[in-house]
Amino acid sequence: MPKKKTKMSEAIQRNRAAIACYIITISVITAAYLIEVIKGNRAISYFATVFTSLWIPGTVVLYLHLSKKCIDVIKYIILFGFAMPWGFMLFTANNDLVFTYALVIMIALNAYADCRFAVATAITYNVINVGSVVFFALLYGLTSEDIVTMEIQLLLLVLCGIFNIFVAVLGGNINEEKLESIKNEKNHASELLDKVLSVSNELTVGISQLNSKMKQLDDAMDRTCFAMEEVSTGTSVTSDSVQTQIIMTEEIQQKLIDFENHAKSISDNVEETGRAIALGTKNMMNLEKEVAASDKCSSDAAKELAELENTTKQMQGIIDLINNVADQTALLALNASIEAARAGESGRGFSVVATEISNLANQTQTATGDIKELIESIDEKLQDVDKAIKAFIEGSQKQHDATMETVRSLQIIGDDATNIEKSTAGLSESVKSLSEANKGIVDAVQNISAIMEEVTAHAKETYESSVRNTSTVDEMMKVVENLNELAVSMKKEQN
């Protein structure tokens, strides 16, 4: 702040204090004389003279103070503006105590702390005071009481003037010391200001760099906010997906449990089927043996039938031989009958024999025919039996082949059942392992879900912190800009 402006501000403050005391004093005096008028001790014209002489300079002082004009002149206007009406009142007073009004003004004027002005004040009021004392002494004479009163009056104003001068000198010395201290402080402040300006220049550069960095930080915080918002949204979606995955994995776990139960049931059924196949294989092996034995019996029966057929053929030959014998016998009987007939009576016995032989031949032929028919029937039956046995043998062979094929099929089925059982056991182990792995997956997904929830919460907190940090960065940028403006302003003021 310039020196002239500082002095002006100080003068205004001193004028304010002095004017306040001055206005209060003339207001009290005006009120006192108005009371005197009301009491009838003073005429209205006298009050008008006092009022005018008091308030014309008072009004001028107020005008100059409010308009801040002639600031250094105001104290002299107060001094002489009050001295003239006070002198008038002192020379026209009915009471010797009127001189005390000057004491109040002299004390009020101490606000200026000016030694020369204090001397002028003391001289002015003491001269007027001495003049009034001399005037009344010459006009009315002096009594012992008047002398004492005048002595007190003169002594009080003289002492008050001396004290005012002393206070003004003391105030001046104090002010000089303060000025010297202020000057030293100013020099020190100037040095500090130079350092501050140097630091301010560096601060301006640093603030510019900081401002640039803060803008970069602001951009980074904006990107961080955007990224954290995306992360929060992504983690929320991921959390929903993980929850869905948990539900699906639990369903898979239940399906695996059901599948494991079904696999166990299949394993049990395959094991039961294996036992049934083993039993069937054993039975088929026994059947194979029985079929082989039946086949052998059929072969034996076929051989016996062939032999029986040969025997039948031999019997046929015997039958033919018997037929020939019967024919020969019949022919012999016929010849015997012819010879018996020729013999007559002598051949009658031979004729009976011939007849019996003929009958026997006939019976033989008849029996032979029956036997032949029976043999032919047996032969036909044997042929049918042979066909049946051959068909049975063919069926047995086919049955044997089918049995063997069935045995082989049962063996393949047994092997397949064993493989199925092993595969089912392996599948059960795999399902069990898969179930355990799926449980691990469920636990892992649940852990992931918990982690994602924590990540979502932290992302939300980070986003909110980023928003707060962004606001803080904006405020810091404003502070930095203000600091930059202050540094530039300080630099300009120094220049």
* Torsional sign, CA 233, 235, 238, 242: negative
**Cα–Cα distances in angstroms (integers) from residue 41 to residues 16, 31, 93, 94, 140, in the given order:** 35, 14, 11, 9, 21
pLDDT of residue 360: 77
Q: Is residue 90 part of a domain?
A: yes
**pLDDT score for 364:** 74
Owner of token pair 């302003």: 489
* pLDDT tens, residue by residue, 368-394: 777 777 767 767 776 776 777 677 667
Q: What is the DSSP string of 450-487?
A: HHHHHHHHHHHHHHHHHHHHHHHHHHHHHHHHHHHHHH
- Residue 79 belongs to what domain range? 1-106
pTM, entire model: 0.39
Residue 79 has pLDDT above 80, yes or no: yes
pLDDT at 287: 62
pLDDT of residue 307: 78
Q: Which of 192, 193, 194, 186 is nearest to 3 (CA)?
A: 186
At residue 113, the 3 state secondary structure works out as coil
pLDDT of 494 reads: 63
The answer to whether residue 434 sits within a structural domain is yes
Ordered DSSP codes for 41-76: SS-HHHHHHHHHHHHHHHHHHHHHHHHT-STTTHHH
Q: Is the pLDDT of residue 456 over 70?
A: no
Q: Is residue 270 part of a domain?
A: yes
pLDDT > 50? residue 103: yes
Query: Is 235:457 a contact under the CB 8 Å cutoff?
Result: no
Q: Which of 142-151, 213-222, 336-345 has the lowest mean pLDDT?
A: 213-222
pLDDT of residue 8: 61
Tokens representing residue 334 in the block: 């016929």
- pLDDT for residue 92 is more than 80: yes
Q: Which of 84, 106, 128 delimits the end of a domain? A: 106
Sort 480 into a burial class: Cβ within 10 Å, 0-12 / 13-18 / 19+: buried
Residues of 323-358 as b/e, b for ≥16 C-beta within 10 angstroms? Answer: beebeebbeebeebbeebeeeeeebeebbebbeebb
What pLDDT does 421 receive?
A: 67
pLDDT of 2 reads 47
Residue 93 lies in a domain: yes
Distance separating alpha carbons of residues 15 and 9, to the nearest angstrom: 10
What's the pLDDT score for residue 24?
A: 93
Q: Which positions ≥6 away from 76 have C-beta within 8 Å? A: none
Mean pLDDT, the chain, integer? 76
Predicted local confidence at residue 453, as pLDDT: 73
**Nearest-angstrom CA–CA distance, 135 and 452:** 110
CB 41 within 8 A of CB 94: yes
Q: Please check whether residue 9 lies inside any domain of the structure.
A: yes
Quick check: 229 and 470 in contact, CB under 8 A? no
Query: Is 377 contained in some domain?
Result: yes
**Cα–Cα dist 485/479, whole Å:** 10
Domain end call among 106, 135, 170: 106
Number of domains in the chain: 2
Query: Is the confidence at residue 53, as pLDDT, over 50?
Result: yes
pLDDT score at 85: 92
pLDDT digits (tens, 9 = 90+) for 273-328: 677 657 767 776 776 677 677 667 767 766 776 777 777 777 777 777 777 877 78
Query: What pLDDT was estimated at residue 334?
Result: 76
**Of 245 and 56, which is predicted with more confidence?**
56
Give the tens place of pLDDT for each residue, 391-448: 766 776 776 676 677 567 767 757 766 775 676 677 667 657 767 766 775 676 677 5
Residue 47 pLDDT grade (very low, low, confident, very high; cuts 50, 70, 90): very high
Stronger pLDDT, 107 or 172, i.e. the higher one: 107
**Position 1 pLDDT exceeds 50:** no
Residue pLDDT, tens place only, 132-165 = 888 888 887 777 777 877 788 788 888 888 888 8
- What CATH number is given to the structural domain containing 365? 1.10.287.950
Confirm whether 263 is domain-assigned.
Answer: yes
Q: What percent of the chain has pLDDT over 90?
A: 10
Whether residue 495 is contained in a domain is answered as: no
Domain boundary pick from 55, 73, 106:
106
